[in-house]
Amino acid sequence: MQVKLSVPTIQQHCGDSRIFEEASRLTRNRQVLTVDVGSDRIFGSVLDGDRTYHPEMRTNGNLQILDTRCDCGHAHEAGFFCVHLGALLLSVVLELPDQPRDGTSTDLLRRVVKIQNTYPPSSPLSSIHGPKPDYLFHDFLPVEESLSPRRPLSLELSIRLQNRGVRQELAPVYTISMKVGEGRRYTVKSMKKFFESLESGTPLEYSKNFTFDPRIHCFSPEDTRLLEYLSTIAMTAALSSTGYERYSYSSPLKVLDGKHLVLFQPTLVSGFLRHLMDRPFTLELDNYLRQNATLEVLSSSDAPLAFPFHVVWDTQGGKDVLRFDPGVPYLLPLSRDYTHVLLDGRIHQVPPGQQASLRALAPYFNRPREEQVIPPERQEHFLKNVYPLLRSMGAVDLPEEIRARIVDSPLQAKLYLDRDAMKLSARLLFFYGDMSINPAQEDVAGGEDSWVVRDRRREGEVLSHLGGFEPKDGFYHLHGEDAQYAFLEDTLPRLEPLVELYATDAFRKARTSFPPVRSRLAMSDSSLLEVSFDYGDLDPKELKGLFRSYRQKKRFHRMRSGAFLSLEDPNFLEFHDFVRDLGVEDRQLDKSHLRFSLHKAVYLESLLEGRGSGLVDRSREYEDFLDSLHNSQPEEVVLEDGFSGSLRDYQTTGVQWMKSLARFGFSGILADDMGLGKTIQALAFLSSEHAPGGKPSLVVAPTSLLYNWEDEVHKFAPQMKVLVVTGSKEDRNLLMERYGDHHLVVTSYPLIRRDADLYRNLEFAYCILDEAQHIKNPFSKTSEAVKAVQARGRFALTGTPIENNLLELWSIMDFLMPGYLGSARHFQGKFEKPIANRDTYALELLKKLVKPFLLRRLKKDVLHELPPKIETKSLAYMTDPQKELYLSYLEEVRKDLDGELSQDNSQNRMRILSYLTRLRQICCHPATFLEDYEGGSGKLALFLEILGEALESGHKLLVFSQFTSMLDILAGELEDLGVEYAYLDGSVPARERKALVDSFNLGDTPVFLISLRAGGTGLNLTGADMVIHYDPWWNPAVEDQATDRAYRIGQENRVQVFKLITHGSIEEKIYALQQKKKALVGAVIQPGETFLQKLSMEELKELFMPT
């Protein structure tokens, strides 16, 4: 339900009447300091006690309030507004100017701002939001805006100004009365009933001949706006517990007093006067300033006021006196802040620049049309302080005797600046002709018999920039590093146009700049990259402190000399980024020469290319190295005798790429698509690089692929002696005693972690990681063990160098070329976080840095003879018992998510993931975890349907699932049907896997049931031409790897892939998440690689929402 933002609804949403009373008090006392209405929110600041609060409500495009907040913490407590939000909304209704900053009509705002009722049925607000006739002001329109013709009414307004109390500074009281009618006008005898009639839309009888009915009557646009404004004031008073407001310390007034509406609060009076402009009304002055009159105010003018003032020097009682004639025919302030005045029968809206001056001159207007005597003791004050105000308001006629003694020269401000180790000092002088004034002690020098007309506005403007200085002994002093730097960097530039500046040498040295640093790149004797810096006059020992201050997000650094150096200096920022990107640590900053591995040259040149720095010199040897790098020709691939493998063109290119990197001492990632033969390329590279009597190379692979590597070596490079290190700890130690007798050593990731000490002391020619994503966690023991291996060159083989986040790519690159992409922390700050926030510069830079060391080809680009692959999403529909179980479990999960699992922590995330697993099992088949379940599975029925058609057509199938319990159910169904099948999960030993694969590829077994984790990589199953993913996995790359067991080199048939998805379930969310992540293909890995971000708590919860 929606209700109009009005005084009654604000009271309703405040709930407790005491909250509304307090909100009204804050509004009346002008404690709502700011109000800002934008297109999507209303916010402001409210002074309450000694603290300022900031209530806010956010709206949608239709100005429906969607959310409320306040730093008091009670903005929506128990469904109600807090006192500060109530005060803000009352100010919007009562006091907002007609034209807000964004140009939206305030009148329109009052019509369309609504509150969207989002409270539950049990909320205290639900009982008071019942149906209500829609006759509010947004329907009570002028005749030209109405959808159906209405009868126009005229409004006659009478105002009586009354002087209450004895204090002249109190604003006048406005007593308002009205008459309404079509021809004859009738007195509104009860303001309260009249405005209640407007709000409710109910008729109100005035005589037998006239009944006011808001449903059939209307007013002019001007009268409508005025009545809307007065209605909000009247309804606020009607809802007040007493109906009285305090006018002064001793005289409360009743706002709704029968046929009168009484106004005196300055903000309400100003708003009322704005609505009076350019409309007729009757004004009665009730003994106000000893005047009685009734005036008809017909129009207004907003032009600046201008008066002719006359000053006469005369003698009275033997003393020289000044006589002042304000020359004002009749001036009466209509508001305490002088926004409006009555001048000679006309209301004037005083321009903001004149309001303060007019208010200061108020004592001189107490006796209009009368000269006022200025006695001798007040003459100096009058000429120094009042005369400038008079001059700003109009022409001033001064006697020549007075004019000769007045110093009326333009202000010339001079500022003298000095500095010592503790503070900045300033001496400020204001010069008017030959006279000078020291504002720190108000000393005046020169012109003792003269009166200085001071430019207080400009003096105040200059002094405002010295706000943090302390005056003492005629000087201003500023202590504290932050304050001094802010003055030097921010304030001083703004002061320069206002004053003449004089500074000592000490002050001029208060700031220093960072010099342009020239860098030189060269090759060292040991073929390392050597970088040296020329800092000019800068002491390199300052750099650690500078970088530390920058990390602390300071704006400046205090040098040892005491000078301030801006950390926003472009030269400093360029140097900082340069050395940080180079991977220089703080402890190295004061060194003039630094040495790096040569692969840093590629990184460095990529950075310099983007910056176009002219402050870099390169030695001749270094430039020769760059030329050879850029112009290198493909290496000739010379394979050892006995190598029986036949390389395709793209595989030869891959081997040439590896050899080129190795020639320059670089390493790389062979990231070819699954099934393109990364293993044979690696073997060809090792065969071409092997030297007689040389050191062996090391391959680290998943356990399931150990013997696959042995078979591949025997098949393609039988001349190479291969050692597979496996077995017990004692067996492995014995095997490694003769590792030097072999060309190639093969071990697994789990074993190298256990044998880290054994490998750490050995040297290898090359170290190759197969399925290198196994070291994607850079902080794991496996990563540490692999990175400790000593080898001349390193390569990584993986079709998925990134699966979940960019740090996985960093971990592989850190194995290949330690330090190339900086530390993990540096990489996350420079690349991972910016790229997650769509920083295209960081993305393009990372691609540029990685590209030389990563080679990736896709099947569609290099295997044109490979038959097509067809992917199909097949929807399964749950059986009724299955669906009932799913929805029941889902409801229990949602309750937990709204309760104890609402916080994001590791324990809750584990429980949520366990819930997700259970829901996925129900989608597959509830019998995966419920022994007595007999309600069937819609997905199993779909699988059996696809299976029957496939077998009839002579297809051979690979069936993947993450749940071995589901594979067991499928195995049982196949046995019942008499269908032969092969089965592979994590319990099958590595040696038996090859026999299973060969039997399936060469035999007649039509179905291979495979656990996704156990058989998703490293297997060649081209005997199959159909793949069924029984249940979806979070990472589409893992599913693609599994599919590519069949869709790879050697496949001669079209491959059809079925992905079984349960309709209306969490599986559809997983599938949608896969598609979303696939949209990031090619973001970093070119071409076609994809990666996933880890699921956030919000993404996890979203999975449980209805589809």
Each residue's pLDDT tens digit, 706-747: 888 988 898 888 888 999 999 899 999 999 998 889 999 999
Domain membership flag for residue 137: no
Residue matched to tokens 């500078």: 546
Considering the domain architecture, whether residues 703 and 850 belong to the same structural domain is answered as yes
Per residue in 150-171, pLDDT (tens digit) is 789 999 888 887 765 444 455 6
Q: Which of 466, 551, 548, 563 is nearest to 513 (CA)?
A: 563
Query: Mean pLDDT, to the nearest integer, of 811-825?
Result: 90
Considering the domain architecture, whether residues 956 and 988 belong to the same structural domain is answered as yes
Query: Mean pLDDT, to the nearest integer, of 417-438?
Result: 91
Q: CA neighbours within 13 Å on the CB side: how many for 689?
A: 28
Query: Mean pLDDT, to the nearest integer, of 485-494?
Result: 91
Query: Mean pLDDT, to the nearest integer, of 1044-1071?
Result: 82
Residue matched to tokens 């900086």: 822
Ranges 887-891, 929-933, 978-982, 1091-1095, most confident: 978-982
Spatial separation of the C-alpha atoms in residues 937 and 921, rounded to whole Å: 11
Instruction: Say what the pLDDT of residue 118 is.
Output: 30
Considering the domain architecture, whether residues 746 and 799 belong to the same structural domain is answered as yes
Question: Could you tell me if residue 466 is left (phi over 0), alpha (psi between -120 and 50 degrees) or otherwise beta?
Answer: alpha
Phi/psi of residue 644, each to 5°?
-100, 0
Count CB neighbours of 498 within 10 A.
Answer: 15
Domain membership flag for residue 275: yes
| Range list of H helices, 324-368 | 352-360
Phi/psi of residue 973, each to 5°?
-65, -40
SS (H, E, C) 261-297: EEECCHHHHHHHHHHHCCCCEEEEEEEECCEEEEEEE
Per the CB < 8 A criterion, the answer to whether 361 and 390 are in contact is yes
Residue 179 has pLDDT above 90, yes or no: yes
Considering the domain architecture, whether residues 1021 and 1043 belong to the same structural domain is answered as yes
Q: Which of 1050, 1061, 1043, 1063 is nearest to 1023 (CA)?
A: 1050
Instruction: Say what the pLDDT of residue 3 is.
Output: 40
How is the chain split among helix, strand and coil, in percent rounded to 5? 40, 25, 35
Domain membership flag for residue 400: no
Considering the domain architecture, whether residues 545 and 690 belong to the same structural domain is answered as no
Q: Which of 114, 121, 115, 90 is nearest to 19 (CA)?
A: 90
Looking at the structure of the chain, the number of domains it has is: 7
Spatial separation of the C-alpha atoms in residues 347 and 305, rounded to whole Å: 11
Residue matched to tokens 């309450």: 48
Per the CB < 8 A criterion, the answer to whether 28 and 140 are in contact is no
Considering the domain architecture, whether residues 685 and 820 belong to the same structural domain is answered as yes
pLDDT over 90, % of the chain? 24
Residue 470 has pLDDT above 80, yes or no: yes
Task: Report the DSSP pairing between strands 51-53 and 41-48.
Answer: antiparallel
Instruction: Let me know the angle formed at the C-alpha of 825 by 819 and 829, rounded to the nearest 5 degrees.
Output: 110
Structure tokens at 459: 């003096």
Q: What is the CATH number of the domain that holds 793?
A: 3.40.50.10810
Overall pTM > 0.95: no
Q: Which residues contact 871 (CB under 8 A, 6 or more apart)?
A: 1057, 1059
Spatial separation of the C-alpha atoms in residues 963 and 969, rounded to whole Å: 10
Residue 429, SS3? strand
Spatial separation of the C-alpha atoms in residues 888 and 926, rounded to whole Å: 13
Phi/psi of residue 1038, each to 5°?
-65, -40
Residue 249 has pLDDT above 80, yes or no: no
Query: How many residues belong to the chain?
Result: 1107
User: Angle of helix 83-95 relative to helix 7-14, nearest 10 degrees?
Assistant: 180
Considering the domain architecture, whether residues 20 and 80 belong to the same structural domain is answered as yes
**841: confidence class by pLDDT, cuts 50, 70, 90:** confident
Spatial separation of the C-alpha atoms in residues 243 and 728, rounded to whole Å: 93
| Structural domain of 525 | 513-630
Instruction: Say what the pLDDT of residue 1088 is.
Output: 30
| Residue 285, beta-bridge partner list | 161, 293
Q: What is the CATH number of the domain that holds 1010?
A: 3.40.50.300
Structure tokens at 600: 């840093």
Instruction: Say what the pLDDT of residue 1099 is.
Output: 58
**Cα dihedral sign, 550-551-554-560:** negative
**137: confidence class by pLDDT, cuts 50, 70, 90:** very low
Instruction: Say what the pLDDT of residue 295 is.
Output: 42
Domain membership flag for residue 1070: yes
Considering the domain architecture, whether residues 1035 and 1004 belong to the same structural domain is answered as yes
Considering the domain architecture, whether residues 916 and 1034 belong to the same structural domain is answered as yes
Instruction: Say what the pLDDT of residue 21 is.
Output: 78
How many angstroms from the chain centroid is the CA of residue 284? 57
Residue 119 has pLDDT above 50, yes or no: no
More confident residue, 863 or 1097: 863
Residue 43 has pLDDT above 90, yes or no: no
Considering the domain architecture, whether residues 889 and 999 belong to the same structural domain is answered as yes
Instruction: Say what the pLDDT of residue 427 is.
Output: 94
Q: Which of 99, 131, 93, 129 is nearest to 111 (CA)?
A: 93
Spatial separation of the C-alpha atoms in residues 98 and 1044, rounded to whole Å: 69
**586: confidence class by pLDDT, cuts 50, 70, 90:** confident
Domain boundary among 602, 630, 658: 630
Per the CB < 8 A criterion, the answer to whether 33 and 52 are in contact is yes
Spatial separation of the C-alpha atoms in residues 651 and 708, rounded to whole Å: 19
More confident residue, 113 or 58: 58
Query: Mean pLDDT, to the nearest integer, of 281-292?
Result: 57
Domain membership flag for residue 637: no
Instruction: Say what the pLDDT of residue 9 is.
Output: 72
Ranges 472-481, 626-635, 896-905, most confident: 472-481
Residue 447 has pLDDT above 60, yes or no: no
Spatial separation of the C-alpha atoms in residues 984 and 967, rounded to whole Å: 10
My answer on whether omega of the bond before 1032 falls inside 30° of 0, hence cis, is no
**701: confidence class by pLDDT, cuts 50, 70, 90:** very high
**372: confidence class by pLDDT, cuts 50, 70, 90:** confident
Considering the domain architecture, whether residues 310 and 290 belong to the same structural domain is answered as no
User: Angle of helix 906-924 relative to helix 880-898, nearest 10 degrees?
Assistant: 170
**790: confidence class by pLDDT, cuts 50, 70, 90:** very high
Q: Which residues contact 902 (CB under 8 A, 6 or more apart)?
A: none
Structure tokens at 1062: 């349960």
Spatial separation of the C-alpha atoms in residues 202 and 194, rounded to whole Å: 10
One-letter amino acid at 756 equals A
Domain boundary among 630, 658, 691: 630
Residue 680 has pLDDT above 80, yes or no: yes
Residue 795, SS3? strand
Instruction: Say what the pLDDT of residue 164 is.
Output: 54
More confident residue, 1039 or 96: 1039
Decide: residue 449, CB within 10 A, 0-12 exposed, 13-18 middle, 19+ buried. exposed
Return the minimum-mean-pLDDT range out of 281-290, 765-774, 863-872: 281-290
Domain boundary among 569, 598, 630: 630
DSSP 445-491: ES-TTSEE---HHHHHHHHHTTTT-EEETTEEEEESHHHHHHIIIII
Structure tokens at 98: 């007609």
Structure tokens at 194: 């009249």
Count CB neighbours of 923 within 10 A.
Answer: 28
Structure tokens at 641: 């005798």
Q: Which residues contact 1031 (CB under 8 A, 6 or more apart)?
A: 920, 923, 924, 961, 962, 963, 966, 1060, 1067
More confident residue, 1105 or 1048: 1048
Domain membership flag for residue 468: yes
CA distances to 135, 685, 901, 990 from 211, in Å: 17, 102, 62, 98
Instruction: Let me know the angle formed at the C-alpha of 986 by 980 and 992, rounded to the nearest 5 degrees.
Output: 60
Instruction: Say what the pLDDT of residue 905 is.
Output: 66
pLDDT over 70, % of the chain? 78
Per residue in 1007-1037, pLDDT (tens digit) is 999 988 777 666 778 888 888 999 988 777 7
Per residue in 287-342, pLDDT (tens digit) is 544 333 344 444 445 567 777 777 776 666 555 666 666 666 567 777 777 777 77
Task: Report the DSSP pairing between strands 423-432 and 435-438.
Answer: antiparallel
Per residue in 937-972, pLDDT (tens digit) is 999 999 998 898 889 888 889 999 999 999 999 999
Return the minimum-mean-pLDDT range out of 86-100, 887-901, 907-921: 86-100
Domain membership flag for residue 639: no
Considering the domain architecture, whether residues 676 and 572 belong to the same structural domain is answered as no
Average pLDDT, rounded, for the chain: 78
One-letter amino acid at 332 equals L
**Cα dihedral sign, 750-755-761-762:** negative
Domain membership flag for residue 136: no
How many angstroms from the chain centroid is the CA of residue 830? 18
